[in-house]
Amino acid sequence: MKLLKIEAGFGKYVDSLGHWKSVKEIGKEDLLRLLELLFNQNDIEMDECSNDNEIKNPAEKLIYQNLYAHLKKFSDEKEILKEKINEEIGKALTEYES
């Protein structure tokens, strides 16, 4: 599933209905949903902003680059996060059962 894309010089994200919207319109509910998708799915794709794939509007470019960087970091670290969550749940269950 593709979460972020650059199309015709514009940065876009996929909303909850599967429509593409400008990253300038993203809200906290959208961010939470994107993080949830990243956490639960393995087939996530995002276009990287590069010279070949440029966003024209400087403000939109900045938003997209920051969004991409944070989502990429979260994606790269999600297995470590899952392990930590499972450890904490295991500890809590052991404590609760004692």
Range of the domain at 76: 2-97
> Would the pLDDT of 97 be above 90?
no
Cα–Cα distance measured from residue 9 to residue 7, given in angstroms and rounded to the nearest whole number: 5
Which one has a higher pLDDT value, 66 or 98? 66
> Would the pLDDT of 59 be above 90?
yes
Average pLDDT on 65-93 reads 94
What are 28-50's pLDDT values in tens digits? 999 999 999 999 999 999 999 98
Give the Cα-Cα-Cα angle 80, 84, 89 (nearest 5 degrees): 145
Domain count, the chain: 1
Other Cβ atoms within 10 Å of 51 Cβ, number:
5
Where are the alpha helices (H) located in 1-98, listed in sequence order? 28-40, 58-97
